[in-house]
């Protein structure tokens, strides 16, 4: 819990610094890139979290991976974390930055679960519908789950709309199970 609060404080501080430089959007892209890189590469994550690997070696790896690809503010964060012996918090800080940034920009994450990937055309329609319903923009994440058979499940914030065929079949099954109709012979 202590690390989570510290990650939020670092994320807020970096966001404020980025705002002063009018670089908050670029730094947000960096944070998303860093979080994705760490989550997709378990060896890299283990190295960052290892107490055996020296922080100077961790910084060398971070520079090799991200130098030239991220903003100077983000590179400064690496050195700040090294100085404070908190490089292990990089992933948490990156995730928290993205959350705070989205909140301040009134961006929501909308998760759409479908049986097949969404086309760009359908994505645009879904985003337009989300804006009309909530009044806020959203980043769309498409999760593929063939078990829903067809249709979609849309989740925006804490609201979920299930228009999947599997849900429809389950509701139909419940209706039949709850039916007390006994035909007369």
Q: Is residue 171 part of a domain?
A: yes
pTM as predicted: 0.66
The total number of structural domains that make up the chain: 2
Are 153 and 92 contained in the same domain? no
What is the pLDDT confidence band of residue 15, given thresholds at 50, 70 and 90?
Answer: very high
For the stretch 19-32, pLDDT in tens is 998 998 999 999 99
What is the pLDDT confidence band of residue 154, given thresholds at 50, 70 and 90?
Answer: confident
Residue 181, pLDDT above cutoff 80: no
DSSP 3-state percent helix, strand, coil across the chain (nearest 5): 65, 15, 20
Are 44 and 90 contained in the same domain? yes
HSE-up of residue 4 (Cα within 13 Å, Cβ side): 2
Q: Is residue 183 part of a domain?
A: no
Q: How far apart are CA 37 and CA 167, in angstroms?
A: 35
Distances from the Cα of 59 to the Cαs of 18, 54, 93, in angstroms? 21, 9, 16
Q: Is residue 185 part of a domain?
A: no
Q: Say if CB 31 and CB 38 are below 8 A apart.
A: no
Please say which residue of 103, 127, 155 terminates a domain.
103
Query: Could you tell me the CATH number of the domain that includes residue 87?
Result: 1.10.520.20
Range of the domain at 138: 107-178
Q: Say if CB 125 and CB 142 are below 8 A apart.
A: no
Give me the helices (H) in 41-136, please. 42-49, 55-66, 72-83, 90-104, 120-134
């Amino acid at each position: 819990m202590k690390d989570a609060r510290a990650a939020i404080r670092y994320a807020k501080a970096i966001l404020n610094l980025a705002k002063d430089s009018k670089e908050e959007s670029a730094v947000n892209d960096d944070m998303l890139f860093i979080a994705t890189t760490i989550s997709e590469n378990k060896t890299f994550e283990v190295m960052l979290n290892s107490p055996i690997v020296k922080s100077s070696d961790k910084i060398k790896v971070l520079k090799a991976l991200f130098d030239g690809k991220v903003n100077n503010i983000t590179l400064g964060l690496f050195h700040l974390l090294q100085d404070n012996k908190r490089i292990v918090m990089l992933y948490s800080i990156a995730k928290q930055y993205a959350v705070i940034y989205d909140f301040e920009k009134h961006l929501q994450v909308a998760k759409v679960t479908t049986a097949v990937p969404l086309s760009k055309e359908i994505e645009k329609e879904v985003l337009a519908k989300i804006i009309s319903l909530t009044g806020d923009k959203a980043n769309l994440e498409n999760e593929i789950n063939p078990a829903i058979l067809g249709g979609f499940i849309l989740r925006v914030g804490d609201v979920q709309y299930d228009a999947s065929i599997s849900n429809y079949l389950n509701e139909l099954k419940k209706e039949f199970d709850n039916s007390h109709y006994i035909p007369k012979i």
